[in-house]
Amino acid sequence: MVIGCYPVVGEVNYETKLTVEAPNLDQLKTAMLFIKAKVPANTVVDLFPLEVALDKLQHSNCRDKTASAYKIFEECSTKYPDGEIVISFNGGKDCTLLLHLYHIFLRLEFFPHG
């Protein structure tokens, strides 16, 4: 488990950014629950609110393509175990979109309630 803590200057929503890396999803969930239980209420800020992302996708003109990508993510998560799915990222706009879609998929699958 790796935990990083970084001061953030100029951000209006938070002053410190905490990152958590874990070898698997179960350990990550356990660590996040532990951290959230130890810090004062309402101090954890979601940097990428799922509701905002879903709303944008629902009202976009790419709904069918988004559904197709989501289906591929579902197939991959069924076929391959945690930690064996890799997304190549080169910084381009197509890869950025794919990364955001996969992030939404993971949030919905593994953290449906936040």
Q: Which domain holds residue 11?
A: 2-38
Do 59 and 34 sit in the same domain of this protein? no
Residue 28: CB atoms within 10 Å: 17
**Would residue 23 count as lying in a domain?**
yes
**Would residue 101 count as lying in a domain?**
yes
> What single letter denotes the amino acid at residue 7?
P
Do 88 and 56 sit in the same domain of this protein? yes
Please give the C-alpha separations between residue 10 and each of 4, 7, 13, 45, in angstroms, as whole numbers.
19, 10, 9, 15
Q: What's the domain count of the chain?
A: 2
Rg of the chain in Å (alpha carbons): 16
What is the per-residue pLDDT for 106? 83
Q: pLDDT tens for residues 84-114? A: 888 888 888 888 888 888 888 888 787 766 5
**Would residue 45 count as lying in a domain?**
no
On whether the CB atoms of residues 33 and 113 are closer than 8 A, the answer is no
* CA gap 97, 60 in Å, rounded: 13
Burial class, 57, CB count within 10 angstroms (exposed 0-12 / middle 13-18 / buried 19+) = middle
Do 71 and 95 sit in the same domain of this protein? yes
> What single letter denotes the amino acid at residue 76?
C
**Would residue 43 count as lying in a domain?**
no
Q: Which two tokens stand for residue 81?
A: 């175990």
> pLDDT-based confidence at 50, cuts 50/70/90?
low
